[in-house]
Amino acid sequence: TRGIRMAPAGAPADSGAPATQATPEARKSSARPAIAAGKPMTTAHGDAMPAVNLTVNFATGSAELTPQAIHTLDALGTALSSEALSHYRFRVEGHTDTVGKPEANRALSEQRAQAVVAYIESKFGVAAARLEPVGMGSDKPLVITGPQVPEPRNRRVLVVNLGG
């Protein structure tokens, strides 16, 4: 199934770390569902606040939203504008792969985060104060690669629940 699901009451929330880094114990626990690139995954951490964890991918060297990204962001916008998530703030983390110079990647990652925030604000009316765009550059890859490796899964924006 595709879509954003809110955690049931009392379910663990995500810390913002990629689910691929979950411990074996966490994978066995009753973790809440989340999405990355539209695919369900499990994570397990800390407290019991609703969380939205998804990944929006980008083309190399681009901050332009693709049709697939827009489809994913439409689901995110619907969730963020719901009453259940209306009291929460979210960090929108832009990421890049290792291709290019670190300074350029930092700027590109910031542009990606800003593109997602601008889309959600304009289409769904989510207040800017609830969305914090941050450029992470190539510092926190989803897939570890060497320098100058074009890894599509690392060209993404991750949305992390910061709480109320």
Which domains are assigned to the chain?
19-163 (3.30.1330.60)
pTM value is 0.71
Q: What are phi and psi of 103, to 5 degrees?
A: -65, -45
pLDDT for the residue 55: 78
pLDDT for the residue 164: 86
Determine the straight-line distance between the first and last CA of the chain, rounded to whole angstroms.
28
Mean pLDDT value of segment 86-103:
96
Cα 11 to the center of its chain, rounded Å? 19
Higher pLDDT, 19 or 144: 144
Q: What are the tokens at 49?
A: 């606040």
Element (H, E) at 26: helix 24-28
- The beta-strand segments (E) located in the chain are 32-36, 39-43, 55-57, 89-94, 131-135, 156-163
Per-residue pLDDT tens over the stretch 35-80: 333 332 223 344 555 555 577 889 999 999 999 999 999 999 999 9
pLDDT for the residue 49: 58
